Chains A and B, each alone.
Chain A
């Protein structure tokens, strides 16, 4: 039997949440959900793991801080000592307060850009990447839940379809995959 993929469309986020709760309760595994906005409370229902994006962002920002320290030391102290306002310019530490704004800004810069690029890469949504959502209406006002038979061997295709149709479905498409 060929594997099949169900694309179950809902027209309201609450209906989607109710359907996901009901299906998961019956032991059906939801592969993914495509929605125009983050649906509050959906992740724990369909078993999406907590994102590690925050940890990545922290590491990017720390890298930024270290790079800024290295940069300020190299440009302002080591390579070409700068005398600004008569401040001592022989050691980095004596000048540190003046470098703090740069360190702060560069940490934020690296943290924010690193996080945004990681996010786009991980989602496969960098500019120019092919769209992977099953229906363009999920970028407007519809929600699509993807369920594949591969994850749900305990159920037959007709059984799955019956259970899915029991929720408040807006549109259902079943394809081979």
Chain B
């Protein structure tokens, strides 16, 4: 292990291109605001929610995975601990974007969330909606915002403490901190099990307010997990290309590849279960979600499903594929784009329905090709990478006193 490569330095080149990406994002957001012809800039806010949530979900997925490593006493990933900590340090930033969208919605700056309009609960109003009124208790502002505060407190709080204890362990040593993190990791998993589902209902499923699905929380969670593992793998491969993490072997890459493969299958399984049950029973109150997508986005829906299922399945099933970093990177990029598109399709049909014209023509959302969507994605990618890589410079890449360190170094499969 060479000593000089244990401390990550942010190359000035990287600083430059992450800044450039953020600038692209800023310009797209600005121009998009004026180009967006939807009422209340609905499309613009929806795009902000999608890009904000996508990267927040990556960071949160890694926090979940980090806690899982402790709770399950996993050894092979001990070397990667600092990378995971860097990724989940993005949680507050991602959360801020999502909360901004929610806040503006609460003050009626946009109507992504139909139920935020109090007149739908009022039987005297012409906006009265019996179905939504039935969910009033759950959507009452104080209860909704209490949940938002609870999620934020748990996610940000655990992320901060995990990081703090991890650095403490470097300084003090011993196994006391390790066992503390083992217990807290398990506690986090219990809270996450509930919050990951309710969060998905609150922030995404409620966009299609009349509809509900018990699979939805899991479906969003699986998407979160697979993008998290893929992003971590891509950053890891990039770092190895720069000469860091040289002590890691092909076996570690292989294991990350296995996660990308396995969770892609979990996502496909959940997506299909949700779809098939609704398709089979064919009850009006259940099919609204897929009806909306069938009417306006049918091709996109099936393409996204097959890309997110078939591409990882056929290209990552072989052992050699998971050990080849170049190949893994290419498949990883496809997975990330596929899941961004999937999140897009989870949000957009409920917000602007059929008014989206695919990339061109006169529509309610205007005729700005795809530059706005791609620009937003790139902008948030720049912010995400900048935050993650900056955090990575603040501590040695490899933890010092982690009890499983040696086992992780000798990992061989």
CB pair B279 A97 closer than 8 Å: yes
Which residues from A are CB-within-8-Å of B280?
85, 87, 97-98
Contact status B412-A97, CB under 8 Å: no
B360 at the interface (CB under 8 A from A): no
| A58 interface residue per 8 A CB criterion | yes
Minimum CB distance partner of A86 in chain B: B282
Distance (whole angstroms) from the CB of B3 to the closest CB of chain A: 29
Q: Closest residue of chain B to A55, judged by CB?
A: B318
B317 and A40 contact, CB distance less than 8 A: no
Q: Cβ of B276 and Cβ of A40 under 8 Å apart?
A: no
Chain B contacts for A87, CB-based, 8 A: 280
A97 to B276 alpha-carbon distance, docked (Å): 6
Contact B412–A41 (Cβ < 8 Å) = yes
CB of A100 within 8 Å of the partner chain: yes
Instruction: List residues of chain A with CB within 8 A of the CB of B319.
Output: 54
Chain A nearest CB, measured from B220 CB (Å): 21
> Which chain A residues lie closer than 8 Å to B318 at the CB level?
54
Q: When the two chains form their complex, are residues A85 and B282 in contact, meaning their CB atoms are under 8 A apart?
A: yes
Out of A54, A58, A85, A100, name the residue touching B276 (CB < 8 Å).
A100
Interface bits B270-286 vs A (CB < 8 Å: 1, else 0) = 00100110011110000
Question: A54 contacts which chain B residues (CB < 8 A)?
Answer: 318-319
Rounded to whole angstroms, the CA-CA distance of A58 and B318 in the bound complex is 10
Let me know if B275 and A40 touch, CB within 8 A: no
Q: Decide: A58 and B282 in contact? CB cutoff 8 A.
A: no
Q: Hey, which chain B residues are within 8 Å of A97, CB to CB?
A: 272, 275-276, 279-280
Known contacts A85-B282, A98-B276; 10 additional CB pairs below 8 A are: A41-B412, A54-B318, A58-B317, A85-B281, A86-B282, A87-B280, A97-B272, A97-B275, A98-B280, A101-B276
A-binding residues in B (CB < 8 A): 272, 275-276, 279-282, 317-319, 412
Residues of A within 8 A of B (CB): 40-41, 54, 58, 85-87, 97-98, 100-101
